[in-house]
């Protein structure tokens, strides 16, 4: 079979991650890139031997790529996703798909009308901590799970400058670019929770806080989520924890699970405590993994080859963004939001 050609619109720091993942996946071909920054254009062109355009519009017109990755800053996702769709390209949008439910829904509706496919890069569905927890919950190791807590808590001066321009333009700390931790880590944490709980969300109560690093956006958010089946969850992300909290804490009627916190490369072990044959037992599972998992593109390719649904579906993305919107609304009103 011929390789599937993919272009990356916006080869900044995250765009270059996409370039590397695509280039290392047999069956996919990195076909082109684009950037308005000349230094990035030349560096990516030299590394991968592909045409890199200084104009996103020109790349969309001239590249023969079947798929386009939208890897701009968050505030531009909707604009370039719609332009790529108009050109008849299938799209992979870096998370979050858009800044709000309305904009994300517009993207998926436009794709449907144009007859192209659209998906979102929820790459942390393939992290070893998450895939192991999926299996543990599926196999009822903890019996009936009623409480899940999922957090990303650390303390890093590099968070705000995680981008192609570094601290020269710390866009993650600025509202106009769609910065803040709810837009940064919220899409991962909320998406994972919705994958683990087989029920619709009924209530959301949350708060966005700007405490240390930012004044315009949140450097700490948390949300309590109640599901219609009675399960509850907490999601939280913060750049303000000098001592990180556990990445996961899960409570079931037959046991408790915990994963150590900090940065992703520190999520190395699952600890499960249960009572077995009348005795307390502890099970430790090694989940040492790289900071950025690589499973998305392999699953994406497999789905296309087999004619199956893409690994991240529009309705899943929209369900998560609806929760994110509810967190913002709750933080603003100070009240529970009912969905």
CATH topology of domain 4-121: Rossmann fold (3.40.50)
pLDDT at residue 149 tops 90: yes
Rounded to whole angstroms, how far apart are CA atoms 147 and 269? 20
Domain coordinates of the chain in residue numbers?
A: 4-121, 125-292+322-338
Arithmetic mean of pLDDT over the chain:
95
pLDDT of the residue at 305: 97
**In the structure encoding, which two tokens stand for residue 79, read together?**
């604009």
> Where does 125-292+322-338 sit in CATH, by number?
3.30.360.10
pLDDT in tens, 294-338: 899 999 999 999 999 999 999 999 999 999 999 999 999 999 999
Angle between the N-to-C axes of helices 314-333 and 186-196, in degrees from 0 to 180, rounded to the nearest 10: 120
Q: Which pLDDT value is given to residue 277?
A: 82
Distance CA 22, CA 30 (A): 6
What average pLDDT score do residues 25-46 get?
Answer: 92
Burial, 89: exposed, middle or buried (Cβ in 10 Å; 0-12, 13-18, 19+)?
buried
Q: What percent of the chain has pLDDT over 70?
A: 99
| Mean pLDDT confidence for 171-184 | 93
Contact 8, 65 (CB under 8 A): no
Would you say residue 164 has pLDDT above 70?
A: no
């Amino acid at each position: 079979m011929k390789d599937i050609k993919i272009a990356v619109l916006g080869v900044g720091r995250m765009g270059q991650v996409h370039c590397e993942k695509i280039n290392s996946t047999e069956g996919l071909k990195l076909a082109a890139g684009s950037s308005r920054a000349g230094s990035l254009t030349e560096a990516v062109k030299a590394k991968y031997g592909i045409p890199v355009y200084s104009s996103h519009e020109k790349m969309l017109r001239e590249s023969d790529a079947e798929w386009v990755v939208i890897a701009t800053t968050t505030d531009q996702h909707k604009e370039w996703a719609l332009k790529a769709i108009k050109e008849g390209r299938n799209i992979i949008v870096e998370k979050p798909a858009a800044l709000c439910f309305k904009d994300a829904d517009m993207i998926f509706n436009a794709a449907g009308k144009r007859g192209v496919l659209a998906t979102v890069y929820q790459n942390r569905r393939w992290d070893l901590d998450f895939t192991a927890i999926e299996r543990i919950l599926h196999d009822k190791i903890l019996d009936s799970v009623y409480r899940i807590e999922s957090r990303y808590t650390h303390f890093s001066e590099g968070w705000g400058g995680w981008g192609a321009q570094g601290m020269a333009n710390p866009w993650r700390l600025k509202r106009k670019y769609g910065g803040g931790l709810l837009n940064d880590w919220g899409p991962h944490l909320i998406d994972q929770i919705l994958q683990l709980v087989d029920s619709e969300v009924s209530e959301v109560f949350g708060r966005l806080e700007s405490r240390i690093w930012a004044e315009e956006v949140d450097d700490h958010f948390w949300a309590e989520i109640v599901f219609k089946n009675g399960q509850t969850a907490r999601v939280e992300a913060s750049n303000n924890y000098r001592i990180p909290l556990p990445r996961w804490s899960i409570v079931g009627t037959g046991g408790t699970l915990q994963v150590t916190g900090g940065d992703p490369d520190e999520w190395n072990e699952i600890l499960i405590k249960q009572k077995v044959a009348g005795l307390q037992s502890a099970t430790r599972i090694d989940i040492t993994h790289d900071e950025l998992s690589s499973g998305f593109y392999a699953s994406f390719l497999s789905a296309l080859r087999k004619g199956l649904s893409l690994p991240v579906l529009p309705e899943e993305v929209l369900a998560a963004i609806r929760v994110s919107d509810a967190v913002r609304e709750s933080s603003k009103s100070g009240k529970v939001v009912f969905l």
